[in-house]
Amino acid sequence: MSLLLIDSASLWYRAYYGMPDTMVAPDGTPVNAIRGFLDMTARLVTQYKPTRIVACLEGDWRPTWRTDIFPGYKANRVDEAGKEDEPDTLAPQIPLLLDLLDLFGLPMVGVDNYEADDLIATYSKSEKGPIHIVTGDRDLFQLVDDARKVKVIYLAKGFSQQEVVDLAWIKQKYEIPGERYALFAMIRGDASDGLPGVKGIGEKGAAIIANSFATIEESLAAAHNDDERLTPLLRKRLIEGSDYIKIAPTLVHCALDVPVPTMEIALPKVPQDLSEIYAFKDQYGLGASVDRLIAALGW
């Protein structure tokens, strides 16, 4: 009864950059992201054999409840018009991809004012394991839970070099207790999200703190109490960063209580008629990519 949670935007960005831009429909519409997404999804279904699947979408990639407390959240990804800066030839593909996934009956969920990460986190806590979270975003390492069999399929190095992240992987990679990744990330910061972390403390200092304390509040209290587990410089930096530390948990922690709709998330069963899917395939020149997903679903 395994569940596959797909960080959809992460997957289609990697598909877009990983597939040749010469892949176009008969009318010239770019389809490289669509074909790459289908191919990767087919391989994931074949490899991990889920019985449940959800393609998680961005209801809002910069939720107001995050930007209200920190306007710089993901501001580095905004274009001059205040919209998400994405490639011109990717944007037109997304509606087409979603239409096709809908024809397949693939469960898709997006909730207003929440990021896909928040939906993934909510499902990872409310659904039974084993759960595999597919993403190129290390933020989701905070959801890894060996007891509940929640793992991250990390695609940062490309699909062919995917890494299966569990608590031991995090410990080896960052030299911290695996379950304290969120604390480590709060202190270190994340330039890709426009999060500075605690000023003056880098990855090494963040690791020292994460090895000594379980929460950001404990580490700040220790700094105020001259705890010898912290160097004088780390104590100073933590105290100076008190204002940021107050909001860091809200910025970094994924929401666990997203009001996801009640819906069927079982792997889609074969429809009585595949003609619409085949017509879509022919219209946009999707070739074997559609066939691979059909085969992976066992249709």
SS (H, E, C) 50-63: CCEEEEECCCCCCC
Q: Are residues 133 and 197 in the same domain?
A: no
Q: What is the pLDDT of residues 36-92, one digit of tens each?
A: 999 999 999 999 999 999 999 999 989 999 999 999 999 988 766 556 667 889 999
Count of the separate structural domains present in the chain: 2
For 73, the token pair is 């959240």
pLDDT at residue 152, as a whole number:
98
* 172 domain residue, yes or no: no
* Residue 195 contacts residue 245 (beta carbons within 8 Å): no
Beta bridge partners of 6: 55, 134
Helices 167-174 and 181-188 cross at an angle (nearest 10°) of: 30
Q: What is the pLDDT of residues 193-204, one digit of tens each?
A: 999 999 999 999
pLDDT at residue 27, as a whole number:
95
Q: Are residues 26 and 87 in the same domain?
A: yes
pLDDT at residue 194, as a whole number:
93
Specify the 3-state DSSP secondary structure of 288.
helix
* 182 domain residue, yes or no: yes
Which residues of the chain register pLDDT less than 50?
none
* 171 domain residue, yes or no: no
* 156 domain residue, yes or no: yes
* 173 domain residue, yes or no: no
For 138, the token pair is 């290390």
pLDDT at residue 83, as a whole number:
65
Q: Are residues 220 and 281 in the same domain?
A: no
Q: What is the CATH number of the domain that holds 287?
A: 3.40.50.1010
Q: Are residues 206 and 183 in the same domain?
A: yes
Host domain of residue 236: 178-252
For 246, the token pair is 């107050």
pLDDT at residue 287, as a whole number:
92
Which pTM was predicted? 0.94
* 38 domain residue, yes or no: yes
